[in-house]
Amino acid sequence: MPSAASGFPLSNGVKIPCIGLGTWQIPDNQELVRHIHKAVEIGYRHIDTAHIYGNERSVGEAVRTCGMPRDKIFVTSKLWNADRGYKETLAAFDTTLKTLGLDYLDLFLIHWPAARGEAMTWQSINSGTWRAMEEIYESGRVRSIGVSNFLIHHLVPLLARARIAPMVNQLEFHPGYMQAPTVEFCQSRGIQVEAWSPLGRGALIHHPLLSEIGAKYGVTGAQVALRWALQHGAIVLPKSMNAERLKQNTELFGFSISSEDMAAIDAMPQTAFSGLDPDHVTF
Ligand code: A2P
């Protein structure tokens, strides 16, 4: 039976566990260390952090002390917007690795595309950043590289200049906000999609359609939202500070959503969108 540790293969052959633990907004302290230990005990093998979350120190400590060999835990971090550019990216990666206290990362992502200002400027910033990502990958200090929040018009110029294509694109993806054109674009090019806020930051957990479909399968609306993303081929990164819900979010393999129910969820009007449009974010 598949589990949270079951892997999706990336384009370079690296396996990435299909359920990851999101850590956004979780403070950098011993509670987070204990929380990750608990998650590992439950079966999580994939932890997602970012420089801007400010918790890399505790994430690294938890990975080093969780009792599992380092190569059994998949660790992702992300380059913050202030660190874009070739030299800055190389330095920021060193800082991230040092803060985590790890020898290597499993995945490093550009957190948001440069997207404002003159057309040529943002494209060259992204390709300078990507050149550094490629070098870091070739140095062997990261097992895979990718982007986050890149839409088609950010990906096309990046791919045109890249020597190594991004292996992952982490996007807002949940019922009511499925960004189908970008997801299809990525999937047709072998770029693995990861879903951030797969529960719409909690806003979907009591959604009537998801709860109704869940009742049919004997699961919760949250489990329906997560399973729906997996059935679309996306990796999910749910977040919960509660041990029961952490466990529940890994119990996604005892049922399968019918194509009729998948279509009903796909047809939901826009719901629980974060409002974060990559071309217009102000950070
Ligand atoms: P809690 O930490 O109290 O469990 P997202 O991952 O989309 O950002 O959503 C995170 C939010 O969803 C958190 O508020 C979390 O609250 C809640 N949540 C996570 N898993 C579940 C679940 N299985 N059932 C209900 N709420 C959940």
Strands 15-17 and 7-9: antiparallel
Q: How confident is the model at residue 3 (pLDDT cuts 50, 70, 90)?
A: confident
CB neighbours of residue 25 within 10 Å:
11
With a 6 Å cutoff on the Cβ, whether 256 touches ligand 1 is no
- The CA 198 to ligand 1 mean position distance, Å, reads 9
Tell me whether residue 197 is in a domain. no
The total of structural domains in the chain comes to: 1
pLDDT the model gives residue 179: 98
Burial of 187-202, coded b for 16+ CB within 10 Å and e otherwise, reads eeeebbbbbbbbbbbe
Asked if 146 and 168 touch (Cβ cutoff 8 Å), the reply is yes
**Phi, psi (5° rounding) for residue 11?**
-65, -20
Give the pLDDT confidence of 135-146 residue by residue, as tens digits: 999 999 999 999
The overall average pLDDT reported for the chain is 96
Torsion from C-alpha of 269, 272, 273, 274, nearest 10 degrees? 170
pLDDT the model gives residue 118: 67
Tell me whether residue 127 is in a domain. yes
With a 6 Å cutoff on the Cβ, whether 75 touches ligand 1 is no
Tell me whether residue 27 is in a domain. yes
Closest ligand 1 atom to the C-alpha of 24? 8
Q: Which of 4-18, 58-72, 108-122 has the lowest mean pLDDT?
A: 108-122
pLDDT the model gives residue 185: 98
With a 6 Å cutoff on the Cβ, whether 197 touches ligand 1 is yes
The set of catalytic residues is 53
Give the pLDDT confidence of 211-254 residue by residue, as tens digits: 999 999 999 999 999 999 999 999 999 999 999 999 999 999 99
pLDDT the model gives residue 89: 98
Closest ligand 1 atom to the C-alpha of 237? 6
Our mutation pick for probing the ligand 1 site, out of 172, 228, 240, 271, counting the most ligand atoms within 8 A of Cβ, is: 240
pLDDT the model gives residue 40: 98
pLDDT the model gives residue 272: 98
Tell me whether residue 100 is in a domain. yes
Asked if 145 and 137 touch (Cβ cutoff 8 Å), the reply is yes
Tell me whether residue 192 is in a domain. no
End-to-end CA distance of the chain: give it in Å, rounded: 42
pLDDT above 70 covers a percentage of the chain that reads 99
Give the pLDDT confidence of 242-276 residue by residue, as tens digits: 999 999 999 999 999 999 999 999 999 999 999 99
pLDDT the model gives residue 224: 98
Provide the whole-model pTM: 0.97
Tell me whether residue 56 is in a domain. yes
Tell me whether residue 208 is in a domain. no
- Owning domain of residue 65: 14-166
Q: What is the CATH number of the domain that holds 67?
A: 3.20.20.100
* Protein residue with least CA distance to atom 19, ligand 1: 240
* Protein residue with least CA distance to atom 11, ligand 1: 202
Q: How confident is the model at residue 117 (pLDDT cuts 50, 70, 90)?
A: confident
Token pair for residue 195?
């879903």
Our mutation pick for probing the ligand 1 site, out of 31, 205, 207, 211, counting the most ligand atoms within 8 A of Cβ, is: 205
